[in-house]
Chain A
Amino acid sequence: MKKYIITIGLFISFGTFLSCDDELTNNPYNALSDDVLFSSPEGFTNAVRGIYAGFIDNGPSNGTDNIDDYYGADMFSVPDILSDNVIINQNGRQSKRTLYDWLYNADGYSSFDLYGDAYKIVRKTNNILGHIDNLSDGAFKNNVMGEALTARALAHFDLVRNYAQIPTQSPGAGSSLGVAYVTTVDPLQKPTRNTVDEVYTNIITDLTTAEGLISSSNGSGRFDKNTVNALLSRIYLYMGQWQNAVNAANNVSGSVASRANFSGVWKDENSDGIITQFLIRIIDGVAIGTEYSQTNGNTGDVRSEYVVSFDFYQMFSSTDIRTSAYISTSAFSGVDYNHIAKYFGKTGQVNNIVNSKIMRMAEVMLNKAEALAELGGQDVAALAALDAVRSQRYTGFTTGVEAGQSLKDAIAFERRLELAFEGHRFYDLKRKGLAVNRDATSGDAADGSGIAPVFATLDAGDHRFQLPIPQNAINANTNLAQNPGY
């Protein structure tokens, strides 16, 4: 009896030997291989949405961390923090102070993680393009390619304008160190940096290719033909190719947000004048506005990291709709501040969550105006483009009369106001080879009292106009050269 029982037991247990190999093959319950993902048009659509999710760094969608970055956060703040539009609030958390004080070095500014985030976008686009022939030829395939190429160009553009010189910045800019322009998926690649000219050439190639492929409308929240042309107008401006900038701007259809709609644009009540935005819902929790301030919903107290600098605040006139749309003056800890209100939240909210607006018609018109003014002999057209913006911002606006240098100044002035706190100012100074000159005598309070900036000037030509390549990127790829000065 017992021997039978034991013998049976033995056979059952050793029977486990026979089936174990299959048991050791476990596949994840929550993931797919490239082969499966790119086996259907739906998979490509999913992968393209992954690009957009990556731009706003929605949670883990970048495969990185849970910190919101890039167009979900600091691309809207850092270029303003680095320049003269804002002043650090002594009552804030001192976030990004190292950037504000221009004291960054290769590892001292991890609060701005564009480098890694942008290349993660690039990788996503290259993976789509690498599998693109799984799709049959046609409009769908072309559109996917167009979206991927546009994203690849934009990510490289953001890299090169931060970590390298801008072509118009200095005479030698074009041949100076750019960034690596990456077009393949290869985990083991260790690329070197291309020159600035090479990078811009590649960007233009990708965008002009995309322009011929992408749909003219993909609905809100995605790239389309207007996105490509609007980007081209900006990038040609950075390259000093004025006529190309004008042409690209002319290819963008749409109109500048009306004065009536303008405040609502920043509450996501309407999308008047928006060419491209990444859509962010409240439950996504991507809070761009936290870059500038946090609002205590119970008390209404706004605690700002950065407030509008006193001299810049003076430039907003009472007839300008932007004064109220962009700025909110209220007390914190008993002191009045001019808080940046552009990203407070959707209507009724103060949780800092709004759509990520990366391209507006107003900018396209200002790109065009500037390019026309630079071309010379086109002042009338330039003024018309400028007035297309101004007429929608000021009450009782009458057509401008500027010409020549005063027209150029007016365009620059309007550009600074219109695109304030939107991540443009630093590049606009940088590409013109201008210094950053902050109001050295006024403090952070609404009346200009308080502590003035410790560092007020970043001289033209200073190496700190080019951010340092992060040290951990150099550690991981010894082929990378660091920027001069660091």
Chain B
Amino acid sequence: MKTKFSGILTLLLAFVVQFTFAQEKTITGTVTDETGPLPGVSIIIKGSTTGTETDFDGNYTIKANTGDVLVYSFVGMSTQQKTVGLSNTIDILLLADNILDEVVIVGYAQKSRDVLTAGIATVTSDELSQVSATTNVLNALQGKAAGVVVTAANGKPGNNAFVRIRGIGSANGGQEPLYVVDGIPVDEVHLNLINNTDVESISILKDAASASVYGSRGSNGVVVITTKTGRKNKKAQFSFNSQVGFSEKIKDNFDMMNAQQKLEYEREVGRGGPGSTIILQSEWDDLAALDHDWQDTLLKNGFIKSNGLSISGGSENTNYFVSFKSESDNGIIKGQDGFERLTGRVNLGVEANEWLSLKINTAVSHTLSKEPRDRNNVQNPFSAIYTYNAYEPLFQLDGDGNPSLDANGNPIYNLTHSGFSIAEAIRNNPELEERLRFMGGVSADMKFIKNIVYTPQISLTYTTLRGEYYNQPGSVLDGYVGDANAPGSKRDNGNNSFTYNLLNKINYTNSFNEVHNVGVTVFSEFFNNNFRSYSLGSKGFPTPDLNTQDNSAEPTSATTYRDELTRFSIGGILDYNFAEKYVVSGSFRRDGSSMFGANNRYGNFWAVSAAWNLHKETFFEDSEFINSLKLRASYGTLGNDRLPSRYGHLGTNRFSNYNGASAAYPDNVANPDLQWESKTSLDIGVDFSLMNNRLRGVVNYFDTKTSDLLFLENLAQESGEPGSPASRYVNLGDFASTGIEIELSGDVVKNENFTWTLGGSIAFVKSTVDKLPGGADYIPSAYNLILQEGEEVYTHYLVRYAGVNPANGRALYYDKDDNVTENYNPSDAVALTGKTVSPDFDGSFNTLFDYKGFALSANFYFKYGNYIYNNQEAQHLTDGNSIRDNQRLDAFNFWRNPGDTNVLPDARNPLNTSETSDRFLQDGSYLRLRSLRFGYDVPKEWLNEKSFFTGLNIYVQAQNLWTYAPYFKGDPEVGIGSDETIGPNDIGFVPGAYNLNSYPTLRSFLLGFDITF
């Protein structure tokens, strides 16, 4: 350790000696936009990495030589260049423009696109506004960047999305990218602390050159979220945003049986259910008359509203951005309130003196979510709507057909054939989750010697969860599972997670001979997280109305838990460019993680990259056709330490109880060799802007290889080792992903009154299994998926269905040798080449018409070629096996007579057991109108005359208005299948592998306005 330290000191001293030689003149000036001074504008001497930023008043000072070209750039603004002449003052007006010219946050620095060597996609606040404000920020990313597949976890209000950048790069090592909010790493689950309207921009770092700066956690890409800041010397600007609307379940693209149909089906199949035994026509008619649609009975339209206010501005030495927002979306389950969120943010900049400026970002959010159960039975309302029969009423009925009443005069819920009324449970078994999240960061830029900035940054994230589950006395569920002597039970649980992140960086920039521009950054980073949780239970409550546990008769359980994670990194970045034409960059970092044992704790990661700005070459300089053209390439390595268990390398015993005394059980199998998963990544791309910037685009090719995959390896069950089934963490095998990404946008029409913009992106990505130890197949136990050398990652692994034997109505299957057989055998499962959980390609296209302030925009998202095991269909077409549950209308189409073809297996024959096979594996391709928005920007001149408003925009928008899914029955946007079966918190979770009645995707309609004053 001592040597490392002295090495860095030497490096530092070297800089100190270096910068004393430079000599330039001092330029000062102010940068403004249409509304006033613009702080934070990046000013770089062209062809160098020397630069500065405007302060809160838009003022800047920079040393440059006459003839130097200064480049002024700012997110969302068109970049300007100015040659240094005789004057020592240069004032600049920046205008809003397209995305290619922006400054991008990369790693530990901001860079202009020109000197960027990496493939980075950026999403602006305008694009985020296309979706409902209540939506989690991740869902808003869907279709926004090529190579970034975003799948909603499910349709539950406030829920996250799964983001996968450039295919599947990890198995059990955590596949989600790293999220960095204003420089602070944040876990995916906590992104709900972000108010969408606070977001200035989101950058997605996809390749090694940019992501490797985040080394230890960047192997699946990095999503950098930057929130808004105020501007210096600007009077307070108020912005008020309001939305109101409703949501509904998207109508199924299939029909369930109504009462009459189901009774007829039961009669014909004759394997149970009232239809199979009723003899009297009057009884039959009475049941059939009870027909109702359980979707109408159990679901409602959700009500969405949000109101937000932000204030931004600044004085001489400070700038600020303050926002508050209240949002609610009560979801579509009758009797349940859904999701509420309150967010607040203060972003503050202080110029303490001439060498010290401080940035302080703090955000707090409170969310409250009433939780429906997400499990594979009628305790989940989205399972119940398909399971309950249309002839089963909501309430028990008396002889006259009126609801029977209990002693208190309340109607008694009908438990149905399933023995459970979800409507009753929603009332009497309420569950909620309340989260409070705080995030704060302070950083200081200290310009202590010319060309050197030292920046320490401290960030803290503290999140708490408080959950409650009350199984009320007198509820049906308590009657089944409760203690008769102490009815009612309550669970209060929660956790808190505290992270501190300490970053120190020293940045040196300089320019030599006017063309050699050099930048050096060295940094160290320390990360520590402590996670603690608790759960308390008790039973015996006097009344349903009292639910705090001090009312209980007896405590039943109490548990607490804690774990900890520490990481430490040091690294350096070297940037060089020659007159901004030729740009090269290199980085190295060494990461240590407490996830691994002492001998394998550290991993070394590096990247090199280069770019060539062809438009700066003399042969293109005068081209009217080409405005910018850049070629770039990068190669590097990235690491991943994200095991599901923080102590995965240790052999451990834990303790539960036997008859009230502690009892040991083995918890984890030791693997002292466990080490970093590492990924190498090659990225080649071209960025271009043509025809007066009317046509803009990016094309990328990438090739990545992950080796030493962190994996939960199945062990022989006879070993009896822990895990279900027995398993241990290993570094196992290689995955490879290759792909091409294309982003294009163009202004078809662009004049004073009318703009028509078209844009789109598409990414073709393929992830394959390169190598597995000993070449042996790996079959994760939770799904019918396989990892097999040469096959794509997570290929479906199923017995092949061969249709129905026309002679006898038996279901037929192929065995391993392609023989057709009536005997189903799971060992006949094969890897279904090409049918995987990942799409062949996905992307989006969008269009915007803007005429005199009237704007109509539409965003489409498409996904092609992924396969989903349709468990819902398997439950709706059971060949008579689940005769008591409602079935899909086309279940009638079963084999009846010899010679019948194009039919389902004979539902009357109990030998047809509706086995797991590719019969229920379906192509999940779809095209969806993700958002449609029509808005009107009231012209400024009207407002200024008549009111104090400075801006007013009103709009209507719809989400998920239209979907085209030709092959898939049900909602094709599948993330979580069934959370309680296997969810995102479970080891080995693979999103989109199957569907199983999770909260469905919603369609919503919103009316909103944004006012500034």
Interface residues of A (CB under 8 A from B): 2-3, 6, 9-10, 13-14, 16-18, 20-21, 23-34, 37, 43, 46-47, 49-50, 52-54, 58-65, 90-91, 93-94, 97-98, 101, 103, 105-108, 115-116, 119-124, 126-127, 180, 182, 185-191, 221, 279-284, 287, 294-299, 303, 345, 348-351, 451, 454-455, 470-478, 480, 482, 486
Q: Which of A26, A50, A476 has the most CB of B within 10 A?
A: A476
CB of A111 to closest CB in B, whole Å: 13
Contact status A351-B826, CB under 8 Å: no
> How many angstroms from the CA of A29 to the CA of B559 in the assembled complex?
13
Contact status A63-B665, CB under 8 Å: yes
Contact status B658-A34, CB under 8 Å: no
Contact status B653-A472, CB under 8 Å: no
Q: Is B728 an interface residue (CB 8 A)?
A: yes
> How many angstroms from the CA of A43 to the CA of B882 in the assembled complex?
49
> How many angstroms from the CA of A182 to the CA of B719 in the assembled complex?
8
Q: Is B5 an interface residue (CB 8 A)?
A: yes
> How many angstroms from the CA of A349 to the CA of B485 in the assembled complex?
7
Contact status B658-A108, CB under 8 Å: no
Contact status B480-A127, CB under 8 Å: no
Q: Which of A33, A221, A283, A475 has the most CB of B within 10 A?
A: A475
Which residue in chain B gives the minimum CB-CB distance to A115? Answer: B717
Q: Is B479 an interface residue (CB 8 A)?
A: yes
Contact status A472-B825, CB under 8 Å: no
> How many angstroms from the CA of A282 to the CA of B483 in the assembled complex?
8
Q: Is B254 an interface residue (CB 8 A)?
A: no
A24 proximity list for chain B (CB < 8 A): 566-568, 592-594, 601
CB of B892 to closest CB in A, whole Å: 21
Interface residues of B (CB under 8 A from A): 1-2, 4-5, 8-9, 271-272, 355-356, 417-419, 446, 448, 454, 456, 474, 476, 478-485, 487, 502, 504, 506, 524, 526, 528, 556-557, 561-568, 570, 592-594, 598, 601, 646-647, 650-669, 714-726, 728, 776-777, 779, 781, 824-827, 881-882, 884, 910-911, 913, 915-916
B272 proximity list for chain A (CB < 8 A): 90, 451
Contact status B726-A476, CB under 8 Å: yes
A52 proximity list for chain B (CB < 8 A): 658-659, 663
State which of A31, A122, A472 has its C-beta within 8 Å of the C-beta of B779.
Answer: A472
State which of B650, B660, B661, B720 has its C-beta within 8 Å of the C-beta of A28.
Answer: B650
With A6-B454, A33-B650 as contacts: A25 and B663 at CB distance below 8 Å: no
State which of B480, B524, B654, B910 has its C-beta within 8 Å of the C-beta of A30.
Answer: B654
A-B contact pairs, 14 of them (CB 8 A): A10-B504, A24-B592, A28-B652, A29-B563, A30-B562, A50-B664, A52-B663, A63-B721, A64-B724, A108-B826, A185-B720, A221-B659, A281-B659, A472-B779
CB of A233 to closest CB in B, whole Å: 26
CB of B608 to closest CB in A, whole Å: 25
With A26-B594, A49-B661, A454-B910 as contacts: A116 and B479 at CB distance below 8 Å: no
A121 proximity list for chain B (CB < 8 A): 720
Q: Which of A26, A351, A480 has the most CB of B within 10 A?
A: A26
Contact status B653-A32, CB under 8 Å: yes
Contact status A103-B913, CB under 8 Å: yes
Closest 6 CB pairs of A and B: A123-B720, A63-B722, A31-B652, A49-B663, A477-B716, A297-B479
> How many angstroms from the CA of A71 to the CA of B845 in the assembled complex?
58
CB of B748 to closest CB in A, whole Å: 53
A-B contacts besides A27-B650, A90-B884, 15 pairs, CB < 8 Å: A10-B504, A29-B561, A31-B653, A50-B656, A58-B657, A90-B272, A103-B913, A119-B717, A119-B719, A120-B722, A180-B718, A187-B721, A351-B484, A472-B714, A476-B725
Contact status B717-A123, CB under 8 Å: no
B882 proximity list for chain A (CB < 8 A): 94
CB of A192 to closest CB in B, whole Å: 9
B8 proximity list for chain A (CB < 8 A): 14, 17
With A24-B566, A454-B910 as contacts: A46 and B717 at CB distance below 8 Å: no
> How many angstroms from the CA of A33 to the CA of B652 in the assembled complex?
5
> How many angstroms from the CA of A279 to the CA of B659 in the assembled complex?
6
B474 proximity list for chain A (CB < 8 A): 298
Contact status A298-B476, CB under 8 Å: yes
> How many angstroms from the CA of A17 to the CA of B650 in the assembled complex?
26
CB of B596 to closest CB in A, whole Å: 9
> How many angstroms from the CA of A29 to the CA of B562 in the assembled complex?
6
B826 proximity list for chain A (CB < 8 A): 105-108, 471
Which residue in chain A gives the minimum CB-CB distance to B475? Answer: A298
Contact status A17-B716, CB under 8 Å: no
State which of A14, A64, A93, A295 has its C-beta within 8 Å of the C-beta of B5.
Answer: A14
State which of A46, A284, A295, A299 has its C-beta within 8 Å of the C-beta of B662.
Answer: A46
With A28-B650, A63-B722 as contacts: A13 and B482 at CB distance below 8 Å: no
With A26-B647, A475-B779 as contacts: A18 and B479 at CB distance below 8 Å: no
Contact status B718-A63, CB under 8 Å: no
A478 proximity list for chain B (CB < 8 A): 776
B652 proximity list for chain A (CB < 8 A): 28, 31-33
> How many angstroms from the CA of A26 to the CA of B645 in the assembled complex?
12
CB of A151 to closest CB in B, whole Å: 12
B916 proximity list for chain A (CB < 8 A): 107
Contact status B483-A349, CB under 8 Å: yes
Q: Which of B272, B476, B659, B721 has the most CB of A within 10 A?
A: B659
> How many angstroms from the CA of A345 to the CA of B506 in the assembled complex?
69
> How many angstroms from the CA of A2 to the CA of B444 in the assembled complex?
13
Contact status A127-B656, CB under 8 Å: no
> How many angstroms from the CA of A183 to the CA of B301 in the assembled complex?
61
A188 proximity list for chain B (CB < 8 A): 715, 719
B506 proximity list for chain A (CB < 8 A): 10
Contact status A350-B484, CB under 8 Å: yes
Contact status A116-B725, CB under 8 Å: yes
State which of A54, A124, A296 has its C-beta within 8 Å of the C-beta of B480.
Answer: A296
Which residue in chain B gives the minimum CB-CB distance to A294? Answer: B480
> How many angstroms from the CA of A358 to the CA of B1 in the assembled complex?
60
> How many angstroms from the CA of A345 to the CA of B726 in the assembled complex?
33
Contact status A50-B714, CB under 8 Å: no
> How many angstroms from the CA of A476 to the CA of B779 in the assembled complex?
8
CB of A244 to closest CB in B, whole Å: 28
State which of B454, B480, B659, B781 has its C-beta within 8 Å of the C-beta of A9.
Answer: B454
B419 proximity list for chain A (CB < 8 A): 91, 93, 294, 303
Q: Which of B564, B657, B669, B723 has the most CB of A within 10 A?
A: B657
Q: Which of B478, B504, B562 has the most CB of A within 10 A?
A: B504
B565 proximity list for chain A (CB < 8 A): 26
B656 proximity list for chain A (CB < 8 A): 50, 53, 58-61
Contact status A25-B594, CB under 8 Å: yes
> How many angstroms from the CA of A349 to the CA of B556 in the assembled complex?
16
Contact status B913-A98, CB under 8 Å: yes
> How many angstroms from the CA of A13 to the CA of B523 in the assembled complex?
10
With A24-B566, A34-B651 as contacts: A46 and B714 at CB distance below 8 Å: no
State which of A18, A60, A122, A221 has its C-beta within 8 Å of the C-beta of B720.
Answer: A122
Q: Which of B474, B660, B666, B825 has the most CB of A within 10 A?
A: B666
B564 proximity list for chain A (CB < 8 A): 26, 29
B650 proximity list for chain A (CB < 8 A): 27-28, 31, 33
Contact status B654-A31, CB under 8 Å: yes
Contact status A124-B662, CB under 8 Å: no
B722 proximity list for chain A (CB < 8 A): 63-64, 120
B884 proximity list for chain A (CB < 8 A): 90, 94
Q: Which of A62, A120, A221, A303 has the most CB of B within 10 A?
A: A120
Contact status A61-B721, CB under 8 Å: no
> How many angstroms from the CA of A33 to the CA of B726 in the assembled complex?
18
State which of B566, B726, B776, B910 has its C-beta within 8 Å of the C-beta of A101.
Answer: B910
B657 proximity list for chain A (CB < 8 A): 49, 53, 58, 61, 284
B526 proximity list for chain A (CB < 8 A): 16, 20, 23
B4 proximity list for chain A (CB < 8 A): 17
Contact status A47-B721, CB under 8 Å: no
State which of A21, A54, A185, A454 has its C-beta within 8 Å of the C-beta of B1.
Answer: A21
A34 proximity list for chain B (CB < 8 A): 651, 653
